[in-house]
Amino acid sequence: MADTVSDDQKFCLKEVLDAFRLCLSENREVYLQHYVAGWRGLIKFLNTLGSVFGFISKDAVTKIQILVHLLNGENGSQYVTIQSMVKYEQGNELVDLTKRGNNQESGCRTLLRLHRALRWLELFLDRLRTSSEDGKTSVMCADAYNESLAKYHPWVIRKAAGMAFCLLPGRQAFLEIMNVGSSEQVVAMLGEAIPLISEVYQITEVLYAQHNMLDLP
Ligand SMILES: CCCCCCCCCCCCC/C=C/[C@@H](O)[C@H](COP(=O)(O)O)NC(=O)CCCCCCCCCCCCCCC
């Protein structure tokens, strides 16, 4: 039977794992191109979950597009790594530091939103990896969200997110959408992916802290 979803739209955890592996340079810089690719892979997953998640996917896609635009733009060479982006945008006053101004679509503030979401992902995937067969994905997702991203979101977004989480598929179906194989194989691959995601997160967190950019408006 013909598959209605073509291969390049189909989510595969391996693709995300590979992207986050490629993110790290030898001297622990983070390649923006692969960071964006990792997010693109994750969005494919979100899109398989149905239209209730559309408002989340739409926001993430908008942010990815801003970064891709910068990467492919005339100053693209300044955006090779997150480190070079921070240096370039800060050095050229391209970031709004205290209140929203002319630089609402800076790479730094845009990436910060995804960076905060990456912490949610790390917490969620770790819960998924260590959960029992009857673990509830909606609870894992909500707990991870409340521990991370929720504090940056207004009430109305938290409410909408909470409602969407209740519609997540159960653990088994969730693991199957990852297209890796048996549950044990998915769990093993998560065990490989989470430390990489965590490392990318930590490097970015330290960099943003050093530049006082953890609260960009
Ligand atoms: C698997 C279930 C997916 C649940 C996703 C959990 C995260 C919930 C986030 C709710 C965000 C709602 C949309 C709007 C957000 C914006 O207000 C807000 C602030 O932006 P602004 O400063 O430009 O106004 N934006 C954000 O915080 C960025 C949110 C980006 C969320 C990306 C979530 C991607 C989830 C990918 C799922 C992958 C599942 C993992 C499987 C291996």
Where in the sequence is the domain holding 89, given as residue range(s)?
Answer: 10-210
Please count the other Cβ atoms lying within 10 Å of the Cβ belonging to residue 146: 15
| pLDDT tens digits, 40-53 | 999 999 999 999 99
In a domain, 2, yes or no: no
In a domain, 20, yes or no: yes
Q: Domains in the chain: how many in total? A: 1
DSSP 3-state of 135: coil
pLDDT above 70 covers what percent of the chain? 96
Which band of pLDDT confidence, cut at 50, 70 and 90, is reported for residue 13? very high
Pocket test for ligand 1, best of 40, 56, 180 (most atoms within 8 A of CB): 56
What CATH number corresponds to the domain at position 76? 1.10.3520.10
Which band of pLDDT confidence, cut at 50, 70 and 90, is reported for residue 11? confident
Pocket test for ligand 1, best of 44, 153, 167, 215 (most atoms within 8 A of CB): 153
In a domain, 55, yes or no: yes
Determine if ligand 1 sits within 6 Å of the CB of residue 117.
Answer: yes
| pLDDT tens digits, 21-47 | 999 999 999 999 999 999 999 999 999
| pLDDT tens digits, 149-182 | 999 999 999 999 999 999 999 999 999 999 999 9
Pocket test for ligand 1, best of 59, 62, 145 (most atoms within 8 A of CB): 59
Please give the Cα distance from 36 to 82 (Å, whole number): 11
What is the number of the ligand 1 atom nearest to the C-alpha of 43? 36
In a domain, 42, yes or no: yes
Please give the Cα distance from 117 to 120 (Å, whole number): 5
Determine if ligand 1 sits within 6 Å of the CB of residue 113.
Answer: yes
Q: Give the distance (Å) from ligand 1 centre to CA of residue 112.
A: 12
pLDDT surpassing 70 at residue 8? no
In a domain, 38, yes or no: yes
Positive or negative: CA dihedral 104, 31, 64, 191: negative
Predicted complex ipTM: 0.98
Q: In this structure, which residue's CA is closest to atom 17 in ligand 1? A: 153
In a domain, 27, yes or no: yes
Q: In this structure, which residue's CA is closest to atom 19 in ligand 1? A: 113
* Helical residues (DSSP H) of the chain, grouped into ranges: 13-23, 32-48, 54-72, 82-91, 107-130, 137-147, 155-165, 171-177, 183-210
In a domain, 126, yes or no: yes
